[in-house]
């Protein structure tokens, strides 16, 4: 049971009391989920309409009307808030913790946020997944080719640190999806352990260079 006719415990025997108490707890625990507003609702009650499953609708009852707060898609695992451009597009977990993805034109963060630097896998060809590696680094242990990036978002900025191994003199060939100032890729530093950093902005198809710092020491 997820909805009850009222949330007031009546004077009664223990067995009936326990049953009613459990029913009320179930209603609270499920946020009064059901196909219509619960009859026990009062001003301030939050409830979920699941009549259009898998799309649920969350409401706040103000004593006269149901004010919709959000829609919840239980198949796509997304929440879209009403009267706002905020959308929570998913939760994912990784070795570093839980990742919450949301978007809004007016989000205020109370604390500083950052993209944790990720290490790309070195090899003859190197992949760069921009959905999980917005800030990345790679250490070259040979002459390499950087494949076209995947999952880029127009308007997003991406950073890549290119590091020479202990031997140095490694080269990196860039896929044509990388566009550079002056239409020419930078000449990388070649001394052992040298580090170059390139910043890109995506147009949705290509990564456009907007800055470079070479031979950082």
Closest C-alpha among 41, 70, 66 to residue 58: 70
Can you give the chain as a three-state secondary structure string?
A: CCCCCCCCCCCCCHHHHHHHHHHHHHHHHCCCCECCCCCCCCCCCEEEECCCCCEEEEEEECCCCEEEEEEEECCCCEEEECCCCCEEEEEEEECCEEEEEEECCCCCCCCCCCCCCEECCCCCEECCECCCCCEEEEEECCCEEECCCECCCCCCEEEEEEEECCCCCCCEEECCCEECHHHCCCCCCCCCCCEEEEEEEECCCCEEEEEEEEEEC
Q: Which residue(s) pair with 185 in the sheet? A: none
CB 34 within 8 A of CB 50: yes
Could you read off the pLDDT tens digit of each residue along the chain, which spans 217 residues? 477 766 677 788 888 878 877 877 887 788 888 888 988 888 999 989 999 999 999 999 999 999 998 899 888 888 888 765 555 555 565 544 555 666 555 555 556 677 889 999 999 999 999 999 999 999 999 999 999 999 999 999 999 999 999 999 999 999 999 999 999 999 999 999 999 999 999 999 999 999 999 999 8
């Amino acid at each position: 049971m997820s909805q009850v006719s009222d949330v007031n415990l009546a004077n009664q025997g223990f067995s009936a009391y326990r049953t009613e108490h459990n029913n009320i707890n179930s209603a609270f625990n499920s946020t009064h989920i059901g196909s219509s507003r619960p009859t026990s609702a009062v001003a301030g009650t939050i409830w979920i309409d699941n009549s259009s499953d898998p799309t649920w609708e969350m409401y706040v009852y103000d004593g006269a009307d149901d004010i919709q707060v959000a829609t919840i898609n239980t198949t796509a695992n997304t929440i879209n808030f009403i009267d706002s451009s905020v959308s929570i597009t998913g939760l994912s977990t990784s070795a570093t913790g839980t990742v919450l993805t949301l978007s809004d034109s007016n989000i205020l963060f109370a604390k500083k946020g950052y993209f944790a630097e990720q290490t790309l896998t070195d090899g003859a060809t190197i992949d760069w997944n921009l959905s999980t590696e917005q800030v990345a680094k790679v250490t070259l242990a040979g002459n390499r080719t950087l494949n076209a990036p995947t999952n880029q978002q127009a308007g997003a900025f991406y950073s890549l640190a290119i590091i020479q191994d202990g031997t140095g003199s490694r080269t990196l060939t860039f896929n044509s999806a990388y566009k550079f100032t002056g239409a020419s890729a930078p000449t990388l530093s070649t001394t052992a352990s040298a580090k170059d950093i390139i910043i890109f902005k995506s147009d949705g198809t290509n990564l456009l260079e907007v800055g470079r710092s070479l031979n950082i020491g």
